[in-house]
Amino acid sequence: MTISPFEERYRTDMNAIFDDRAKLAKWMAVEVALAKAHARLGNVPAGVPPRISAAAQKVTLERVLDIEAEIHHDLMAMVRALTEQAGDAGRYVHLGATSYDIEDTATALIFIDAVGLLETRMEKLGGELKRLALKHKKTVCIGRTHGQHAVPTTYGMKFALYYQELERGRERLRDARKRIAVGKMSGAVGTMATFGRDGPKIQKMVMQELGLSEAKVTNQVIQRDRHAEVLCVLALIAALMEKMAREIRNLQRTEIGEVAEPFTSKQVGSSTMPHKRNPHKSERVCSLARVVRANVMVAMENIALEHERDLTNSANEREIFPESFVAVDYMVGEMTGILAGLVFYPENIRRNLEMTRGLVMAERVMIYLTEKKGMGRQDAHELVRTLAQEAFAGGLHLKDLLVERKVLDRNEAAELFDYTTYIGQAEKIVEDAVRD
C-alpha cells in the first residue's frame, strides 16, 4: 500500500530524482570526490579513489537498508556498505567527514537536478501560454474586477499576463539555484578540525569536482535559509498554477461558460449526475498548491536550529523536499495539458459582453464627453453614472438611453459601443509581453 499519493497518483519524472537509489548514488559521488581530494593532497594513496569509485558501483540499496536496520543511521549505513566493497581502500572511505558533509552536499546535487527538470517543464508551459496569447490577442471578452463586469479586455491579455509571471518564476528559480548549489566539507561544527590545515583545500577540491560552490561558513549543516528560499520559489510557481486554474474554474461556471478544460468522450464528471463536466484537473491543481504553501512554513521553521544544529529538520525534510518538487512538477505538467486542450465558447463570450446592456462602455462614453463634447470630467462622470443607474433599473440598453436623451447621436453611439474597438493597446501589449 502506498501512503503518499505522490508515489503513484501524482508521480512524475521528478520522483526518480528523489528516490532512495538516486540519493544513495549522490552520497557516494560525494564520498568519491572526497577521496580524490585526499589523494591529490597525498593524504591517501593515488589508487584509492578509483577503487572507492568502483566499489560505489557495487553497493546496493538493499544492503544499505539492512545495515541501517541494525545501526539506525542511514548515512553511516552507506559508509559501511561502501567500505565493504572497497577492500583495503575501505579504510579511507569518509575520511575526516561528518554525515552532513555528505548529506547536505548531496542534497545540493539533487536540488540541481530537480530544478533542471522543472525548468524544462516550465519552458513547455511557457510555449503553450505564448501560443494562446498570440492566438487570442484579438479575442475580446469582458474584463472583471471585484467579481463584476468592468470593461473589455482580450483573452490574449490573460495569457500574456500568465506568461510574464511564469518568466519571473523561472528567473527566481535560476537565482535560487545559485544559492542552493553549495556544499560543505567542514566537519561536525564547521571548523574543519578533522582535516587540519588541509581543510580549506579539501572543501574546495571536493566542490570543484562536484560542480558546486563552497559554503563560506557552516556549522554542522548548510544553513536552511537556502532550502527555504527554494521552497518559497516553488510555492510562488504553485501559486501561479493555482491562479490560472482558478480562472479556468470560474470561467467554466455554468452561468459564465466562456472556456472549459478538456473533457474526453468517456470521462465521468459525477457518480450521480451524468451531465456534469467538472473542472477536476484545475481543482486538483488548486488543491496541491495548498500543500506546497504549507511546506514553506515547515522549511522556515527549519532555519532556526539550535546551537550548531539539532535534528529537528531531518525528518520533515525527507517529506517536504521531494513532495514540493514533485507536486509543482505535476502541477506544471497538468496545466500544460489543460491549456493545450482548452475549449473556448465564442457565443458565450459575446453573450457576456452584452449582458449588462452596454453599461461596461460607460467609461468610454465619459471620456468621449470630456474630450469631444467639452464637458468637465466630473460632470461627465456624474451624467453617465446617473444614466447608467437608470438604464440598469429599467432594463434598458445604455446606448439607447444616451441617444434618447440626446447625449449622443446614433452614429456616435454605434461607434462608442463597439466592444472590439475599446481594447486599447491590448494587441501590442500581448505581442511585446511574449516576445523572446
Could you give the residue numbers annotated as active site? 146, 270
DSSP label at residue 260 = E
Calpha distance 348→10 (Å, rounded) = 34
384 and 362 in contact (C-beta within 8 Å)? Answer: yes
Instruction: Spell out the residues 6+ positions from residue 436 whose beta carbon is closer than 8 angstroms to its own.
Output: none
Alpha-helix runs per DSSP H in 97-211: 99-135, 155-180, 199-210
Calpha distance 51→86 (Å, rounded) = 6
The C-alpha R_g of the chain, in whole angstroms, comes to 30
**Interior/surface letters 82-116, b for 16+ CB within 10 angstroms, e for the rest:** bbebbeebbebbbbbbbbbbbbbbbbbbbbbbbbe
Residue type, 70: E
* Residue written as grid cell 545559485: 178
**Alpha carbon separation from 435 to 186, 195, 209 (Å, rounded):** 46, 53, 38
Cell digits for 102?
Answer: 555528505
For 144: left if phi > 0, alpha if psi spans -120 to 50, otherwise beta; the answer is beta
Cell digits for 351?
Answer: 453573450
Question: 3-state class of 54 per DSSP?
Answer: helix
Q: Is the dihedral of CA 147, 151, 156, 158 positive or negative?
A: negative
Q: Which helix (H) or strand (E) holds 150?
A: strand 148-154
Calpha distance 99→73 (Å, rounded) = 10
Calpha distance 436→428 (Å, rounded) = 14
Closest by Cα among 403, 288, 262 to 343: 262
Closest by Cα among 10, 425, 79, 9 to 238: 10
* Residue written as grid cell 508515489: 7
Cell digits for 167?
Answer: 518568466
Calpha distance 16→119 (Å, rounded) = 16
